[in-house]
Structure 1
Amino acid sequence: MKTTGNTIFITGGTSGIGLGLARELRDLGNTVIVSGRRKDLLDRIAAEDGLGTVELDVAAPASIQAAYDTVTTRYPETNVLVTMAGIMRSEDLRDPGHLAAAEQTVAINLLGTIRAITAFTPFLLGRPDAAIVTVSSGLAFTPLAATPTYSATKAAVHSYTESLRFQLAGTGVQVIELVPPAVRTALLEGREPDPQWMPLQEFLTESVQLLTDQPDAREILVERVGFLRYAEREGRFQQTFAALNSH
């Protein structure tokens, strides 16, 4: 993926990694459009950051279609889709009440990703230098037991991305998977960021540098995510799983 001269649409880019990445890509010389459900927040981002904004609820198929229509009409040069939208909830699997959180997590993290890709792929097939960037997690490879559905949806996003890349091979649409470790954002509802998590700016800087240095990359893996990403491959899954879930 080239890192300048693109028109990039990011689902869920109003906070955390999404907004940070939008700013970094803007500063590289790209036109960047972010989306979210809160119009007041979008208006503030447009005014303060000079980013394009589109209202979008990725859990609602009609909203995805409306956002697609808006983006491709207002920004016909769009050539990159980044599926950043996601939520992370703790769940007690002994309590049947966890199901509502699980269903919402699947609707946003997995179905939202699939529906956004489905909407934009035909359009991107006709664009030069096109790319789709999915966002999984180190927890796709070594799950956090306290957030079981989040970890499961990210494992599904990884698998879906592999199949998407295979099916789009030779079409000119590059498929890249961004795999964050634990980053100091407010993603995990009800919990303050842990000081041991990777600082957001450090993650953004390393990720953008990897994108720049590896234009043909399949996965963007900062050094700190290797502990989780390669646990099974390196024969240390059980030890890594135990260490991750001992806190």
Structure 2
Amino acid sequence: MIVAGRRTELLDRITTEHPGIETLVLDVTDPASIAHAHKTVTSTYPEMNVLVNNAGIMLAENLLDAGSLPIAEDTVTTNLLGTIRMANAFLPHLVAKDNAAVVNVGSGLEFVPLPATPTYNATKAAIHSFSESLRVQLTETSVQVIEVVPPSVRTTLMGQQDSEQAMPLEDFLSEVMTLLGTQPDAGEILVENVKFLRHAEAEGTYGKVLSMLSGH
């Protein structure tokens, strides 16, 4: 397994605490960094057959404040453009494998938005649409496209690592791994905690859920 990220100190800690895991410095907002990562991975780890697009930022925005525009631009560059660039870079390598996968990490908020984070929601909705199109285009290849759709999880996103309303990270990861094992052909991986968002429109609860996320 190769873990990539921008924070070298965190990558060093992962290497120390988890022997056998390789790390790589990668900034998905920088095309040169992606090109370097692609060259390194495909030459050093030619057996690599799964790409997980997990990079993302989530910040609150006041759309009445012109100063919020840089937040929106950074969010689009990281969450959406980063995923598209990574897929574009690695797909030629993956389609040459007998069995491969692209795993894109979306969010339950792509189905019902959290109004405090409008651009984050929009990028995740775009990731869902991109994943759907990518899956169709890769139908005749050996590459499976999987979208993992998290609910609110106890991570540092929006400072919710201690939130009682968020799902414990360990529980989320455990359920995801179980679903991947028991539903190997699934296009979407949905833990129970996210289904009220995923199916809100179909179940006629969209307005109620949106109101709840709005704090009303």
TM-score band (shorter)?
over 0.9
TM-score by length of 2: 0.97
TM-aligned CA distance change 1:84 to 1:139, over 3 Å: same
Cα separation, 2, equivalents of 1:184 and 1:38: 20
Structure 1, unaligned stretches of length 5 or more? Answer: 1-31
Q: 2: distance between equivalents of 1:192 and 1:148? A: 21
- Would the aligned equivalents of 2:154 and 2:160 in 1 still touch at CA under 8 Å? no
Aligned residue type for 2:26: L
**Equivalent of 1:227, from 189, 196, 199?**
196
Check if 1:239 corresponds to 2:201: no
Q: Please, what TM-score do these two structures have when normalized by structure 1? A: 0.85
Contact 2:153 2:160 in 1 (8 A): no
Aligned-pair distance for 1:82? 0.3
Deviation string, structure 1 residues 22-70 (Cα, Å, up to 9, x no partner): xxxxxxxxxx101111222212211211211011000011111111111
Whole-angstrom distance in 2 between the partners of 1:192 and 1:72: 35
CA shift, 1:194, in A, is: 1.7
AA matched with 1:234: E
Gaps of 5+ in 2: none
Specify the SS of the correspondent of 2:38: helix
Corresponding residue number in structure 2 for 1:127: 97
C-alpha root-mean-square deviation of aligned residues, in Å?
1.1
Q: Where does structure 1 differ by over 4 angstroms across 4 or more consecutive aligned residues?
A: none
- In structure 2, the residue matched to 1:97 is 67
Match of 1:3 in 2: none
Letter in 2 for 1:44: R
Q: Which residue of 1 aligns with 2:17?
A: 48
Q: Secondary structure at the match of 2:202?
A: coil
The residue number in structure 2 matching 1:20 is none
Q: 1:191 to 1:185 in 2, by over 3 A?
A: closer
The correspondence for 2:114, drawn from 131, 144, 166, is 144
Question: What's the secondary structure of 2:102's corresponding residue?
Answer: strand
Higher RCO structure, 1 or 2 (CA under 8 Å, sep 6+): 1
For the residue of structure 2 that corresponds to 1:114, the secondary structure is: helix
| Residue pairs, 1:78-117, within 5 angstroms | 78-117=48-87
Q: Distance in 2 between matches of 1:184 and 1:143?
A: 18
